[in-house]
Amino acid sequence: MIGNFPYFAVILLIGCGIYILMFQKNLIKLAIGINLIENGINLFLITLGYRKGAIAPIYTQAPSGQAMVLPTPQALTLTSIVIGVATSALILSMAMMIYKHYGTIEVNEVRRLRG
pLDDT in tens, 14-35: 999 999 999 999 999 999 999 9
Asked if pLDDT for residue 1 goes beyond 70, the answer is no
Q: Is the pTM of this model over 0.75?
A: yes
State residue 68's pLDDT score.
Answer: 78
Q: Which fold has domain 2-50+66-114?
A: Helix Hairpins (1.10.287)
- CA 76, distance to chain mean position in Å, is 12
Domain residue spans of the chain: 2-50+66-114
DSSP letter (8 states) at residue 4? G
Helices and strands (H, E) in the chain, number of each type: 4, 0
* CA dihedral of residues 41, 6, 36, 11 (deg, nearest 10): 90
